[in-house]
């Protein structure tokens, strides 16, 4: 089933389907299928190889060792590369940048589009008929840089389908989103998030998806789009215990800061995890949780009480 994703045009984070992006497999939360979506797993500029449509045969790891590329073993779309060369110019690979998002006060690496020929490309094995959740964070440094996200169900050799007036109506496109709401000229800092999160669900029609992101208005280094924390996970993945199945409730959701627990006078522990699966806050014997100092975005709340653990999803505005 295909889903057309409406364009967005406001400054708030637009979330079509809210689902926390967690990588704690031990807790039963879904694993991120995108390789190096954080842009922090390899050495320097080699992080961009994860989204190069023709990745190099070798790559440098964090120990400065040259090893065989895990990406080249999975895809090498030379036909599409040749098409991009002719239609937009060479250098289709995204850039790797030090100006990624901040995680727990530390600036991380990210990807960037800084030319109309640049693309994010990654082929991923999935299960046809299964629903997935895609998410990424982006920041356009000038106005009217409209990134396009395509979830393709086949390996394309040109951009005929993505150039269509209605890409979502194309048989090779499972989902499409045009991002128009992520302009922010500031790089942000440890206390200020300047990236916008875009999240949506789709159902895979084939056993492969291609993550394909471009921004045709980005023509040089002065009109860059910064991208970080890409994730693709199975939707509705079971956890230890779904908070919705218990008598404990968490409100308001979304919240501007304070979160309250109802159904119990207090619980043994409340834990908050960010989109990287990192524990960022914990309180014990409490019925409230103060997230006022946390950045806007998606969080997983874990509630432990009387030997049982439940999890719930929360958005901080």
CATH number for position 288: 2.60.40.3080
Other CB atoms within 10 Å distance of the CB of residue 239: 20
Last residue of a domain, one of 186, 211, 234: 234
| Shared domain check, 83 and 170 | yes
Answer yes or no: do 161 and 277 share one domain.
no
Strands of the 249-251 sheet, one edge to the other: 249-251, 258-262, 288-290
pLDDT at 256: 86
Q: What is the DSSP letter of 133?
A: E
> 126 and 30 in one domain?
yes
Q: What is the Cα–Cα distance from 199 to 45, expressed in whole angstroms?
A: 26
Rounded to 5 degrees, what angle do the CA atoms 15, 20, 21 make?
105
pLDDT, tens only, 254-280: 888 898 888 777 889 999 987 667 788
Question: What is the per-residue pLDDT for 145?
Answer: 95
Query: So what's the pLDDT on residue 245?
Result: 54
228 lies in the same domain as 262: no
Which pLDDT belongs to residue 264? 76
Among residues 227, 88, 221, the alpha carbon closest in space to that of 142 is found at 221
Full domain range(s) for residue 27: 3-234
| Pairwise CA distance, residues 143 & 312, whole Å | 35
Domain match, 13 and 89 both: yes
Residue that terminates a domain, selected from 215, 234, 253:
234
What pLDDT is stored for residue 310 in this prediction? Answer: 82
Residues 49, 74 contacting (CB under 8 angstroms):
no
Among residues 214, 234, 254, the one where a domain terminates is: 234
Q: Are 159 and 306 in a shared domain? A: no
pTM (predicted TM-score)? 0.73
pLDDT digits (tens, 9 = 90+) for 175-223: 999 999 999 999 999 889 999 999 999 999 999 999 999 999 999 999 9
Pairwise CA distance, residues 261 & 120, whole Å: 41
For the chain, what is the domain count? 2
Residues of the chain with confidence (pLDDT) below 50: 1-4, 6-29, 237-241
11 C-beta neighbours (distance < 10 Å), count: 11
């Amino acid at each position: 089933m295909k889903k057309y994703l409406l364009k967005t045009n406001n400054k708030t984070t637009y979330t079509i389907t809210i689902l926390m992006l967690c990588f704690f497999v031990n807790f039963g939360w879904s694993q991120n299928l995108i390789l190096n979506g954080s842009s922090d797993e390899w050495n320097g500029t080699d992080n961009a190889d994860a989204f190069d449509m023709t990745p190099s045969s070798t790559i440098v790891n964090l120990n400065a060792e040259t090893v065989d590329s895990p990406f080249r073993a999975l895809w090498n779309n030379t036909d599409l590369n040749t098409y991009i060369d002719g239609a937009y110019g060479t250098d289709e690979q995204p850039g790797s940048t030090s100006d990624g998002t901040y995680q727990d006060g530390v600036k991380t690496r990210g990807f960037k589009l800084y030319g109309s020929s640049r693309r994010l490309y990654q082929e991923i094995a999935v299960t046809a008929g299964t629903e997935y959740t895609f998410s990424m964070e982006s920041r356009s440094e000038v106005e009217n840089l409209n990134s396009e996200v395509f979830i393709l169900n086949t390996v394309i050799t040109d951009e005929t389908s993505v150039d269509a007036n209605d890409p979502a109506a194309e048989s090779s496109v499972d989902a499409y989103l045009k991002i128009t709401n992520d302009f922010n000229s500031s790089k942000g800092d440890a206390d200020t998030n300047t990236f916008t999160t875009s999240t949506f669900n789709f159902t895979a029609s084939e056993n492969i998806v291609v993550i394909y992101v471009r921004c045709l208005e980005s023509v040089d280094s002065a009109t860059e789009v910064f991208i970080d924390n890409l994730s693709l996970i199975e939707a509705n993945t079971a956890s230890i215990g779904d908070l919705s199945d218990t008598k404990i409730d968490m409100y308001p959701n979304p919240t501007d800061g304070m979160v309250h627990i109802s159904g119990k006078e207090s619980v043994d522990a409340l834990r908050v995890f960010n989109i990287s699966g990192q524990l960022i806050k914990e309180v014990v014997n409490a019925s409230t949780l103060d997230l006022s100092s946390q950045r806007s975005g998606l969080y997983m709340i874990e509630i432990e009480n009387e030997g049982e653990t439940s999890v719930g999803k929360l958005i901080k505005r």
